[in-house]
Amino acid sequence: MSYKIYLYDTDTDCIGSGTLSSAYIQTQLDAAAGADVEVHISSTGGSAFDAIAIYDLLKKYPGNVTTYIDALAASAASIVAMAGRQVIMSKYALLMIHKPMVGTGGNADELLKDVQMLNAVQERLAQIYMDKSQLDGLTINSLINAVTWMTADQALDLGFIDLIEDYHTQITNSLLIKNYTNNAPVAYQRCINKILNINNNSMNIENKELIEKNTSVLNKIMNFFKKVVNKQTITDKGALHHSDQLEEGSEVFQDEDLSAPAITDIYTCADGKQLDVKQGKIHRITPSAEEESQLTDEEDDVPADKLKPAAKPLDIQSRMQQLKARLHAQNALLTEARAAIEEANANLQKTRTEVKNEIRSSFIPEGSKRSSKAQTEPVAFFAPQTEVAKNAVKKAIAS
């Protein structure tokens, strides 16, 4: 169990006096005897020298030190907060940094010495902030000179703290991805589990932190799994989206995110197959007339007493629905082709300089910190995306 130390201002004490002095903190650390320590801070500040002394004591302490900014860590108190191996800030707290100050008097030479002393103190304070945040000296001194007040989100973005303490369950990007990919093929689930370390939290920590901190990475992974999980079938009433093969009991949806169940109705596919959908699930699948005729041809050699009753003539309304579904498929292909042509025309209008600026090299020198965006190349301006479009292109090439 962690040993707790509270640096809370009182009516008489602040950083440097009473229970907030470096001498008192030393006695508290001696009592902790190497156990993990939690330092809770709620202070407007005080002595910069005592703050540096407390910072050094906490940094040299052999046990693990975690500092908590409970309400306010201002002025000298912000220096103490930086001493934690992990700095945790309440979502409602504030962090403030400013130039060191002194009350003084005397002649010009004495005042000049005070100015020199204050500049030296600011250099030491700035170094502590730089060591924690990894910001450069110019940025840190600009924040100090401006008297900067920071919320928890701002302090986290700038690197002054490591974690925001919230009282709600944190939903991480990795959890969102895991929930979304539950219906993906097993091979893809194994792949994403390996990336996210579902079974071993001691490995690939950088991958997990990258996914949970970088929204663009999350979007790329989510889009990838949408393509893996999401299949679509063109019908006379538009596209039906699904994650499994179409069979009785399969769930079908109206949208690509697989969130809105398909409306109860009878849908006719481009091949003439009819899907009886009820409450977002396929209740019954009726084969197309061609499939039924094939079954009839296969039964020609079967004895008459074992033949099934002949199928009814193709209903005109069913035939119209089949044609309507095929028109939907053709319109989908035409929409893709039209978009591709428009993009091609736009590319033709670009100047030589604009085209040159779009060229991205896939070569990255060893040790380069160049953005990963430079490694990506745009897809061809016309590449059929849906199965219907791909099949149509194959047929056109074959003919």
Contact, 152 vs 164, CB < 8 A? Answer: yes
pLDDT tens digits in sequence order for the chain, 399 residues long: 789 999 999 989 899 999 999 999 999 999 999 999 999 999 999 999 999 999 999 999 999 999 999 999 999 999 999 999 999 999 999 999 999 988 777 888 888 888 888 899 999 999 999 999 999 999 999 999 999 999 999 999 899 999 998 766 555 556 666 665 666 656 566 666 666 555 554 444 555 555 555 556 556 666 666 666 667 888 888 888 887 778 888 888 888 777 788 889 988 887 778 889 998 888 888 887 666 666 555 555 555 555 555 445 555 666 666 666 667 766 776 777 777 777 777 777 777 666 666 654 444 444 444 444 444 444 444 456 667 666 766 666 665
Residues with Cβ within 8 Å of residue 399, at least 6 apart in sequence: none
Report residue 229 as tokens.
Answer: 């999980």
Report residue 138 as tokens.
Answer: 């110019």
pLDDT at site 237:
82
- Given the DSSP bridges, would you call strands 3-8 and 37-43 parallel, antiparallel or unpaired? parallel
Helix residue ranges per DSSP H, 349-380: 352-358
Exposed / middle / buried, residue 316 (Cβ in 10 Å: 0-12, 13-18, 19+): exposed
pLDDT at site 193:
65
Q: Rounded CA gap, 64 and 42, in Å?
A: 20
Q: Rounded CA gap, 338 and 327, in Å?
A: 16
Q: Verify whether residue 98 is a known catalytic residue.
A: yes
Per-residue model confidence as pLDDT tens digits over 276-335? 999 888 888 888 766 666 655 555 555 555 555 544 555 566 666 666 666 776 677 677
pLDDT at site 375:
43
Q: Record the pTM.
A: 0.44
H/E segment holding residue 94: strand 94-97
Q: Rounded CA gap, 89 and 72, in Å?
A: 9
pLDDT at site 80:
95
Residues with Cβ within 8 Å of residue 381, at least 6 apart in sequence: 340, 343, 344, 347
Catalytic position from the list 98, 241, 242, 328: 98
Q: Rounded CA gap, 165 and 90, in Å?
A: 5
Q: Rounded CA gap, 124 and 207, in Å?
A: 35
First to last CA, the chain: 76
pLDDT at site 360:
47
Per-residue model confidence as pLDDT tens digits over 20-41? 999 999 999 999 999 999 999 9
Q: Rounded CA gap, 389 and 399, in Å?
A: 16
Catalytic position from the list 21, 42, 43, 75: 75
